[in-house]
């Protein structure tokens, strides 16, 4: 399969039956040609056997050993890391922006990303958890490698709806107190916040030994707004309003957006993390590539 064929438009993925199926399509397509490379953690070189445990992928059971010894073992390969992954998903009102033609809604795109990371972690036998937040943390599932726990995460993602205002200090205080052992933390958000607040929270997690990946998700309309002259815009989280003009949109806005993204990126880098900007009309594969590079540096 060519690289172009694997890059499925998000609007096409939105028509799939459920989040787990969507995640499987994205991940398996992205890993074609990559999973044989040890540097990505997907080496197929045999390492050892270990006893089967509930939640293990039955595809790795060695049935020949079972036939001889009447005991169930799974194969382990070089590259298995058993990492703890926690997905922090922003469910604030700003994530509820409706879709533009050729894209999916921003919150749906963020959920697609979260589902793909959950599937990828489960595929690697990593423990994976979810923390969804807006005004307060309203969903918290600690990392688990059990298949039933992974299935529950897909159901939770499907039920989530955006609303409320993000409270970044409260989020990171909550996360720092409950994430426990060091692991990988993936934040999926539009990052429409003060860069200093985001950076302070990320540094607190980094100080506890967590490796950080921030996926900043923006809608195409946020890249290039389609508003008429003399438009009054409203902040969906605070209710504050501002009058804007065509001149502002054409000249000042792109510069301000670029400055904000750069400040967010610098805040993430200062905490030792990795930043990836995504737009909702772009294939999700880019985020997985960023994650694999991230895993390469943080085994």
The per-residue pLDDT for range 101-121, each reduced to its tens digit, is 777 899 999 999 999 999 888
Residue 58: DSSP 8-state: G
User: What percent of the chain clears pLDDT 90, i.e. is strictly above it?
Assistant: 31
pLDDT in tens, 7-16: 567 777 776 7
Q: What per-residue string of b and e applies to 162-188 under the rule 16 or more CB within 10 Å gives b?
A: bbbebbbeebbebbeeebeeebbbbbb
pLDDT value at residue 196: 93
What's the average model confidence in pLDDT over 204-228? 87
Q: Taking 70 as the threshold, does the pLDDT of residue 228 lie above it?
A: no
> Phi/psi of residue 76, each to 5°?
-110, 145
The more confidently predicted of residues 242 and 117 is: 117
Q: Is the pLDDT of residue 43 over 50?
A: no
pLDDT band at residue 229 under the 50/70/90 scheme: low
Looking at the DSSP bridge assignments, the partners of residue 184 are 85, 211
**pLDDT of the residue at 270:** 95
- Give me the pLDDT at residue 297, please: 62
Per-residue pLDDT tens digits for 49-75: 668 777 666 777 878 777 877 888 776
Is the model's pLDDT at 193 over the cut of 50? yes
pTM for the model stands at 0.77
Q: Count the Cβ atoms, other than its own, within 10 Å of residue 213.
A: 24
Number of H helices, E strands in the chain: 12, 10
CA dist., res. 131 & res. 148, Å (int): 17
Which of 118-122, 216-220, 225-229: highest mean pLDDT?
Answer: 216-220
pLDDT confidence bin for 238, thresholds 50/70/90? low
The answer to whether 40 and 296 have CB atoms below 8 angstroms apart is: yes
Q: How far apart are the first and last CA of the chain?
A: 28
Chain Cα centroid distance, residue 177: 21
Residue 99 confidence (pLDDT) above 90: no
Q: With bands split at pLDDT 50, 70 and 90, how would you rate the model's confidence at 90?
A: very high
């Amino acid at each position: 399969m060519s690289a172009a064929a694997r890059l499925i438009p998000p609007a096409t993925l939105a028509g799939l039956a459920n989040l787990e199926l969507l995640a499987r399509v994205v991940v398996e397509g992205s890993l074609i040609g990559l999973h044989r490379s040890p540097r990505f953690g997907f080496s197929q070189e045999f390492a050892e056997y270990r006893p089967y445990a509930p939640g293990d992928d039955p595809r790795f059971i060695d049935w020949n050993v079972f036939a001889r010894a009447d005991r169930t073992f799974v194969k382990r390969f070089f590259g298995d890391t058993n990492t703890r992954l926690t997905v922090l998903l922003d469910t604030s009102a700003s994530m509820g922006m409706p879709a533009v033609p050729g894209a999916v809604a921003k919150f749906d795109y963020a959920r697609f990303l979260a589902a793909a990371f959950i599937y990828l972690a489960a595929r690697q036998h990593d423990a994976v958890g979810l923390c969804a937040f807006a005004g307060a943390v309203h969903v918290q599932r600690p990392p688990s490698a059990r298949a039933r726990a992974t299935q529950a995460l897909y159901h939770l993602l499907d039920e989530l709806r955006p609303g409320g205002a993000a409270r970044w200090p409260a989020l990171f205080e909550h996360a720092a107190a409950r994430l426990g052992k060091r692991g990988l933390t993936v934040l999926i958000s539009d990052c429409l916040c003060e860069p200093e607040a985001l950076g302070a929270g990320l540094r607190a997690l980094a100080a506890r030994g967590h490796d950080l990946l921030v996926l900043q998700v923006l809608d195409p309309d946020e890249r290039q707004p389609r508003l008429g002259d003399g438009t009054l815009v409203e902040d969906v989280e605070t209710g504050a309003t501002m009058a804007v003009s065509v001149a502002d949109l054409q000249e000042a806005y792109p510069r301000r957006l670029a400055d904000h993204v750069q400040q967010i990126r610098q805040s993430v880098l200062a905490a030792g993390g990795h930043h990836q900007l995504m737009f909702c009309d772009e294939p999700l594969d880019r985020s997985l590539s960023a994650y694999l590079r991230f895993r390469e540096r943080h085994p």
